Amino acid sequence: ELHLVESGGGLVQPGGSLRLSCVASGFTFSSYWMTWVRQAPGKGLEWVANIKQDGSEKYYVDSVNGRFTISRDNAKNSLYLQMNSLRTEDTAEFYCARGRRGIVVLRGAPDHYYYYMDVWGKGTTVTVSS
């Protein structure tokens, strides 16, 4: 069975740091893109960051770029999110998710890529407050 289990959330003061972890099981972790998504209390989903299978490509939402760092350790089937300079607006449930990236070929030529998340962890809560 496919599993993603997040940990590392907690209460932190503004300006502080946290490191989230996500451990994968039930699939070949090193074969998949991975993603962090967050959801503030009572709000919608917000993408945070993506990382390619080998860690060579990383993408961030503008609001966390330069403060958060996504990384992975394929030997440990683990995904991480180092969060620095935390703000009150970073308060949210943080989900780890498996990414599925595919390419659509039309008339023998690449037409476009798609990306979506097909396996989600249950989340870890980050609260930034003084």
Partner 1 sequence: AIQLTQSPSSLSASVGDRVTITCRASQGISSALAWYQQKPGKVPKALIFDGSSLESGVPSRFSGSGSGTDFTLTISSLQPEDFATYYCQQFNSFQGLTFGGGTKVEIK
Classify residue 31 as left (phi > 0), alpha (psi -120 to 50) or beta. Answer: alpha
Q: How far is the CB of 76 from partner 1 (least distance, A)?
A: 23
Closest to partner 1 by CB, 58 or 87: 58
**Distance between CA atoms of 51 and 128, rounded to whole angstroms?**
25
19 vs 116 by CB, closer to partner 1 = 116
Which residues are within 8 A (CB) of 92 and not within 5 positions of it... i.e. 6 or more apart? 38, 39, 40, 41, 43, 46, 125, 126
CA 44, distance to chain mean position in Å, is 16
Pairing assessment for the beta strands 92-106 and 33-39 based on DSSP bridges:
antiparallel
Question: Under rule CB under 8 A, which residues in 69-128 are in contact with partner 1?
Answer: 95, 100-102, 104, 111-118, 120-123
Least CB distance from residue 99 to partner 1, whole Å? Answer: 8
Residue 9 interacts with partner 1 (CB under 8 A)? no
- Looking at beta carbons only, is 62 or 75 nearer to partner 1? 62
Footprint on residues 12-71 left by partner 1 (CB under 8 A): 35, 37, 44-47, 50, 59-62
Nearest to 78 by CA among 3, 17, 18, 15: 3
CB nearer to partner 1: give 27 or 120: 120
| Phi and psi torsions of 74, nearest 5° | -65, -25
Binding site for partner 1 (CB under 8 A): 35, 37, 44-47, 50, 59-62, 95, 100-102, 104, 111-118, 120-123
